[in-house]
Amino acid sequence: MDESDFEGTLVLERLAEIGQVEDFFDAVDADDAQRAAALMKKAKIDASTIAIVLKKMEDGDGEH
């Protein structure tokens, strides 16, 4: 997975498989990187993709 996978919804598809999309977006909206990472780990998303998503959250400046 690379940065384009997140934009292409692969991360969201994995989260949907475990019913956690809404919780993930709540975590992103709250800038709760720890919770977002935990949800992605639960969805079996690889560490490098999690790092990309967390970087996007950090760089987002309120834009998610």
In the chain, domain spans: 3-58
The per-residue pLDDT for 30 is 92
The per-residue pLDDT for 40 is 96
What Å distances lie between residue 5 and 1, 30, CA to CA? 6, 22
For the entire predicted model, the pTM comes to: 0.80
The per-residue pLDDT for 33 is 96
18-50 residue pLDDT tens: 999 999 989 988 999 999 999 999 999 999 989
Classify burial at 38, counting beta carbons within 10 Å of its beta carbon; exposed 0-12, middle 13-18, buried 19 or more: middle
pLDDT band at residue 2 using 50, 70 and 90 as cut-offs: very low
The per-residue pLDDT for 15 is 94
